[in-house]
Structure 1
Amino acid sequence: MIYPPGVSGPPLLPDFDPPAFVLPTLIDNPYFPLMPGTVYTYSGQFDEDGETVTETSRVFVTPDTRNIAGVESRVVRDTEFVNGILAEDTFDWYAQDVVGNVWYMGEFTTSFEYDDEGNLIGTSNEGSWEAGVDGAMPGYIMLANPQVGDHYYQEFFPGEAEDEAVVVALNQSISTGLGDFTNVLQTYETTALEPDAREFKYYAPGIGLVLIEEDLDEDLMDPGLTVELTSVEVIPAPAALPLLIVGLGALSYVRRRVR
């Protein structure tokens, strides 16, 4: 396993306590906000056998929730396309505790396999997991108060899902096609299940994930694929929903005041 300088010891597997979740689907962590109706689009390109391959992901924060291990969790749908063809369709589940940590509660993922003519020949749900099922445990996807050197599991289902993250920096400045961002949080992610899978992720306050550098070399440089946030859209809510969102926003303000 390769880590950034200064990292020692195993990642933290956080203690999961369902009573610590009061308004779990109100996710307002500045580095990982999930407002229902928001659509994030990401895109990146890489070369394969002399041809340019384009990866595009559409991440939709749905209005739906699902009870995971006794905690109501927000459903986020992530659809990934390779050269315009659906490659993966994932439903992720997230919840925020009273402190402001955002937890990754599980995922149901379907990957699609095609033949050389583009015909669908199979699907797989490998990598799916749910907290509380068969010993799977949730982890942090974003800390309430991240500090450089924090090292933690994002998910823990032995042999199936063991992603971990390290906080690398808190004040990065980056530029993408979408604009310039400051006070950016940088994390490093890897997994014991695929030690060669190494990537940096960059989160802008008030927006969330804006840049991913994947397939880093052993010096944690020279990414094989760079994926950028290209757009953020909000799908108009039904007539009654804006009042609900306003009410939740007020509760969020009160909660922050009493922390």
Structure 2
Amino acid sequence: MKLELSFIHTVLTIVALSTVPVVMCLASRAGEQERKITVKRSELPATIERAIAKAVSGGQVVKIEKEVEGEDPGQYDVVMSSGEKLYEVEISPEGEVIEVKEVAADDDDDPDGAQARKWTDSFYLDERTFSAAGGNRFFSLEPGHQLVLESEDEKVVITVLDQTRMIGRVETRVIEEREEKDGELAEVSRNFFAICKKHGDVFYFGEEVDDYKDGKIVGHGGAWRADEADSKAGIIMPGTILLGARHYQEISPKAMDRAEIVADDVTMKTPAGTFENCIRVEETSGLDPDEKCYKTYAPGVGLIQDEDLLLVRYGCEWSSGEPDVNSIPVLMETPSIPSSLFWLDSNVPVIACPGPAVPSGVSGSLPLTVRLRTLRR
């Protein structure tokens, strides 16, 4: 049965009016800017004092700032010195040490920053509570979310699967990456991620890898798991973006990828559109000093550039082809910012994600649409 255009117009009008508060709220959050104030040592709560003493043994406080606006209001950022080293310490409003990282000191005798800068590899995992659902501003764990990136001779399809995997005691979300070179399947990896509920950091718990040649599996290069000996999870995407922050993404004898946030105000044009307020990440390897690449992430979308690969489309992947148009309770124009919106219609949960296609059975075209699918529990 086909939907009449008049019915579509009515539905679009109703939905557009009913979702204005939601879209305005999301847009407001997307534009939220971080603001910090300097705090005196004498003004610190006792819980924060104890956290400082725990973070860097014998360290001296150089500077204390408190975030009053942004993604983590109430968080304390403390600069401490110990000997000739400087450390940046992040402390939650409740007095929990989130992260300690060594940073290069400003030194007039070292204008080029020759002093080696350290990479954060301690994340206090035992003190965190994780979830396999959700995501942060630059990384989604919502099942169905899909990114397609292409270059002249390569194609990568990244899909958040409706699957989880236990890595140690943590339930992780499975994200599949399918890589093609010159039209031939080259690699399929199943990557395991979970998000810290309190702070929004998305952690990387490992991957299974199948390398292909002529349609056959020929190896498993780069595979690792955080519950293996001498391995632990790293951060793939922090919940709070700090320019210059450096952290390990993978911590394993077989994989030591690490990342530094080198820009936080990037505008990038791709075949899928132009994206603003993006971050650029420089990735290197602790195993191969010559390995280096750059990636760009857009808010509300995720990865939009990986070296020569550029985003060509993104949205939700249907689990079994295009849905029957009769099962779609709502069709609306995409909001002005990339997002996922939820409705409850006739006691049936549905998820709306940005997508490039108009469902079959609907005549005409819309500038942008939202594709819906029923959530499977």
Same fold (TM over 0.5): yes
> Structure 1: how far apart are the matches of 2:161 and 2:274?
28
Letter matched to residue 20 of structure 1? R
Written as runs of structure 1 = structure 2, the 5 A alignment for 1:169-248 is 169-213=263-307, 226-236=308-318, 243=349
Letter matched to residue 290 of structure 2? D
Larger radius of gyration: 2
Q: CA deviation at 1:244?
A: 8.0
Q: CA deviation at 1:16?
A: 4.3
Contact 1:14 1:152 (8 Å CA) reproduced: no
Q: Which residue of 2 aligns with 1:41?
A: 148
Letter matched to residue 315 of structure 2? E
Q: CA deviation at 1:8?
A: 4.1
Q: Which residue of 1 aligns with 2:191?
A: 92
Written as runs of structure 1 = structure 2, the 5 A alignment for 1:128-167 is 128-158=223-253, 160-167=254-261
Written as runs of structure 1 = structure 2, the 5 A alignment for 1:57-68 is 57-68=156-167
How much identity, in percent, do the aligned residues show? 29
Counterpart of 2:175 (choices 76, 84, 97) is: 76
Structure-2 change in CA distance of 1:139 and 1:244 (3 Å): farther
Contact 1:80 1:89 (8 Å CA) reproduced: yes
Contact 1:18 1:71 (8 Å CA) reproduced: no
Structure-2 change in CA distance of 1:178 and 1:244 (3 Å): closer
Written as runs of structure 1 = structure 2, the 5 A alignment for 1:50-61 is 54-61=153-160
Query: How many residues matched?
Result: 215
What do you get for the CA RMSD once the two structures are aligned?
Answer: 2.4
Q: Which residue of 1 aligns with 2:129?
A: 21
Matched, 1:112 2:212: yes
Contact 2:148 2:311 (8 Å CA) reproduced: yes
Matched, 1:11 2:119: yes
Structure 2 counterpart SS, 1:243: strand
Unpaired runs of 5+ in structure 1? 46-53, 214-225, 247-259
Q: CA deviation at 1:18?
A: 4.6
